[in-house]
Amino acid sequence: MSEVTNIRVAVRCRPLSKKELGNKEKSIFRLNNGNVCLTNPGDGKESTFNFDKIFLDDSVQTEVWDYLGEPLLNKCIEGFNGTVFAYGQTGSGKTFSMQGVQQDPILKGLIPRFTTALFDRVKLEKEKDANKLFLVTCSYFEIYNEVISDLLDPSAKKKGTAAGLDVKEHPVLGVYVKGLQEIVVEVAQKMDDLIQQGMACRHVAATAMNEER
């Protein structure tokens, strides 16, 4: 990560889907002097946006990892907090960029790449200094309709916790979610399993935007 910048903002343009191609739709995205230009199909007016990094529609998962994932991992090992926040409309490719196809070495996304690299790095750091200690924990929660749910707690629904978990602030630890599980993870496979468990418990609502493409 840059030594003078705490936040990086990148945009990724996905290719047109089969459905969009079948409807003979055209991309409204183009580059102009390093800026993103979007054309309103209604009136033809163009809006220009600037980002730290632009991933074109032919970008691959390794490009996203090299720019966002690996530098973030390096900073985490150095003791800094780091977050990747994916934002976009339904069907824009957030899940593909973050998760991808986990078992595919080419298509897997940021999260499985980070998991593998994290434990490889922990092993390397321990080999360099046997006195170094690492504690890796995993939490996975969802905010849906303003309700916070612990996706790693299979009994949450049985408990009838319709009100969800509460966000609290500690004078030393800072902001945290009260009652959220923190599961100790010692190997990458366990982390992958927990993530898959959490994803299976997410709320998913089908819309016309995320139908099979």
In the chain, the number of structural domains is: 1
- Is 177 inside any structural domain? yes
Q: Is position 170 within any domain?
A: yes
153 lies in some domain: yes
Q: Do the beta carbons of residue 13 and residue 57 sit within 8 Å?
A: yes
Is 52 a member of any domain?
A: no
pLDDT score of 200: 87
pLDDT at 140: 94
Higher pLDDT, 174 or 60: 60
| Domain-embedded: residue 162 | yes
Between 105 and 205, name the one with better pLDDT.
105
Q: How far is CA 196 from CA 15, 67, 177, 200, in A?
A: 26, 25, 21, 6
pLDDT beyond 60 at 81: yes
Least confident of 7-11, 85-89, 170-174: 170-174
Domain holding 149, by residue range, is 135-207
Residue 15 domain flag: no
Contact at 8 Å (CB) between 198 and 181?
no
pTM listed for this prediction: 0.84
Inside any domain, residue 198: yes
Whether 192 maps to a domain, the answer reads: yes
